[in-house]
């Protein structure tokens, strides 16, 4: 059997594996500390384990799943990786640096089945789901890079997290578990294009994860131009699911709104968005569109400010995503695309 990714294994199975090999069960705790507390990449680094156990681990498991094939570090300390997976597929991860916190933007799928018309990640549809270990290892790579535990996780990289729910939840439990990475549940944000059954499922888990909905439009007709029908839910159902999430978890929801000139940036859109956000008691996060698809572009800065001001004057809570972090974050999918199609410019948003 080829080696398995050790972080994919439920700990009950790992305990059984230790017992079957005649190893002491307390070794599980040591292995866990090396993997999640010291972020090691190889079993050889686990120096307090007996050599025989290390050899047995090497024979049966892989300690880490990602191979960095490209690393870009911006002047402000933000790092973007293109990682190769064991089967040759690739994903992107971004570590966003701010003086007060380190945030990692993680991917959950290779490609994305939702295929929004404005997004680079969805262009080829879904290639495959990421496994729990492949999701967790993106966070471990970032902790290792900084030599400190990161503070926040945003599930806003490639893929629709709520269409890979079991692996997402398994990974987030390792990321949040006090005996694992130990990042507080309130420091996790999951962004979804609005997969209603997934939102309801998460609500019933009653974790303290923060939910962000990629709204981008105020009517089903307008949204239909951005999101193809096969994974798109009616707005009314999405908003109901948001209320349910808030009722079950006590967490307010964020509405993400990527501003695209001429598509969703009118005064009427702002008014409608403010009303909707107030009714839902939600926060609005405006993101000027990052030009990865030619058909769309961000409104000019004055228009963005006017849209923001209108929302605020109508009583909505609103933030405008910082240009720099936004550029790198929303650019998820671009590094990978450039590898697949070298004719693609490095950063089409450069101006």
Residues that bind ligand SF4 (CB under 6 A): 112, 114-116, 119, 121-122, 159-160, 193, 214
CB nearer to ligand SF4: pick between 8 and 193: 193
| Cα gap 206→214, rounded to integer Å | 21
CB of 243 to ligand SAH, least distance (A): 19
- Residue 115 binds what, of ligand SF4, ligand SAH, none (CB under 5 to 8 Å, by partner type)? ligand SF4
Sign of the C-alpha dihedral computed for residues 100, 104, 143 and 72 taken in this order: negative
Residue 130 in the binding site for ligand SAH (CB under 6 A): no
Tokens of 316: 């909505």
Which residue of the chain is nearest ligand SF4 when measured via CB? 122
Instruction: Show the binding pattern over residues 195-234: x = contacts ligand SAH (CB under 6 A), - = does not.
Output: -------------------x--------------------
Please identify, among the stretches 95-103, 169-177, 230-238, 282-290, the one whose residues bind ligand SAH according to the rule CB under 6 A.
282-290
Residue 264 in the binding site for ligand SAH (CB under 6 A): no
By CB under 6 A, how many residues form the interface with ligand SAH? 16
CB nearer to ligand SAH: pick between 180 and 265: 265
Task: Give the other-Cβ count within 10 Å of 24's Cβ.
Answer: 11
| Cα gap 222→266, rounded to integer Å | 12
How deeply is 270 buried, as exposed, middle or buried, from its count of CB atoms within 10 A (0-12, 13-18, 19+)? buried
- Residue 290 binds what, of ligand SF4, ligand SAH, none (CB under 5 to 8 Å, by partner type)? ligand SAH
Site residues for ligand SAH, window 26-85 (CB under 6 A)?
none
- Residue 263 binds what, of ligand SAH, ligand SF4, none (CB under 5 to 8 Å, by partner type)? none
Tokens of 84: 């190769």
Kindly tell me which residue out of 330, 335, 336, 338 binds ligand SAH, with binding defined by CB under 6 A: 330
Closest CA to 293 of 130, 121, 135, 141: 121
* Strand 254-259 relative to strand 283-288, pairing: parallel
CB nearer to ligand SF4: pick between 110 and 183: 110
DSSP string, 301-344: HHHHHHHHHHHHHTT-EEEE--HHHHHHHHTTTHHHHHHH-TTS
| Cα gap 3→1, rounded to integer Å | 6
CB of 143 to ligand SF4, least distance (A): 24
Task: Give the other-Cβ count within 10 Å of 103's Cβ.
Answer: 21
Kindly tell me which residue out of 56, 175, 287, 318 binds ligand SAH, with binding defined by CB under 6 A: 287
Instruction: Show the binding pattern over residues 90-119: x = contacts ligand SAH (CB under 6 A), - = does not.
Output: ----------------------x-----xx
Q: Who contacts 335 (Cβ-Cβ below 8 Å, separation ≥6)?
A: 70, 72, 80, 82, 92
CB of 131 to ligand SAH, least distance (A): 18
CB of 109 to ligand SAH, least distance (A): 8
CB of 111 to ligand SAH, least distance (A): 11
Site residues for ligand SAH, window 230-259 (CB under 6 A)?
256, 258
CB of 210 to ligand SF4, least distance (A): 17
Q: Which residues are catalytic?
A: 92, 332
How deeply is 341 buried, as exposed, middle or buried, from its count of CB atoms within 10 A (0-12, 13-18, 19+)? exposed
162-166: long-range contacts at Cβ-Cβ below 8 A with a sequence spacing of 24 or more? Answer: 162/190, 162/192, 162/195, 162/197, 162/198, 162/199, 162/201, 162/202, 163/109, 163/113, 163/114, 163/126, 163/129, 163/195, 163/198, 163/231, 164/108, 164/109, 164/129, 164/130, 165/198, 165/201, 165/202
Kindly tell me which residue out of 102, 191, 254, 264 binds ligand SAH, with binding defined by CB under 6 A: 191
Q: Which residues bind ligand SAH (CB under 6 A)?
A: 112, 118-119, 156, 160, 191-193, 214, 256, 258, 287, 289-290, 292, 330
């Amino acid at each position: 059997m080829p080696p398995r990714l050790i972080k994919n294994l439920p700990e009950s199975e790992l305990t059984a594996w230790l017992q079957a090999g005649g190893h002491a069960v307390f070794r599980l705790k040591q292995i866990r500390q090396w993997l999640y507390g010291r972020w090691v990449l190889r079993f050889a680094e686990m120096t307090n384990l007996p050599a025989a156990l290390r050899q047995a681990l090497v024979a049966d498991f892989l300690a880490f799943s990602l191979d960095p094939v490209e690393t870009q570090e911006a002047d402000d300390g933000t790092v973007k990786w293109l990682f190769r997976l064991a089967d040759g597929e690739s994903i992107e991860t971004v570590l966003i640096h701010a003086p007060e916190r380190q945030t990692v933007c993680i991917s959950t799928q290779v490609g994305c089945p939702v295929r929004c018309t404005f997004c680079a990640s969805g262009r080829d549809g879904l290639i495959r789901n990421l496994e729990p270990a492949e999701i967790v290892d993106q966070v471990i790579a970032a902790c290792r890079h900084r030599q400190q535990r990161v503070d926040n996780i945003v599930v806003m990289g490639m893929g629709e997290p709520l269409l890979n729910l079991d692996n997402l939840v398994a990974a987030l439990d390792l990321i949040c578990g006090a005996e694992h990475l130990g990042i507080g549940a309130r420091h996790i944000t999951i962004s979804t294009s609005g997969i209603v059954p997934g939102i309801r499922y998460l609500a019933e888990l009653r974790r303290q994860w923060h939910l962000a909905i990629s709204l981008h439009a105020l009517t089903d007709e307008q949204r239909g131009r951005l999101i193809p029908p096969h994974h798109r839910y009616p707005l009314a159902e999405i908003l109901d699911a948001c209320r349910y999430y808030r009722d079950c978890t006590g967490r307010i929801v964020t509405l993400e709104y990527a501003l695209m000139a001429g598509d969703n940036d009118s005064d009427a859109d702002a008014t409608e968005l403010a009303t909707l956000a107030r009714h839902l008691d939600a926060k609005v996060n405006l993101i000027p569109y990052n030009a990865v698809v030619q058909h769309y572009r961000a409104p000019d800065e004055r228009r963005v400010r006017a849209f923001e001001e209108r929302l605020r004057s109508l009583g909505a809570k609103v933030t405008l995503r910082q240009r720099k972090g936004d550029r790198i974050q929303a650019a998820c999918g671009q590094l990978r695309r450039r590898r697949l199609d070298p004719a693609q410019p490095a950063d089409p948003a450069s101006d």
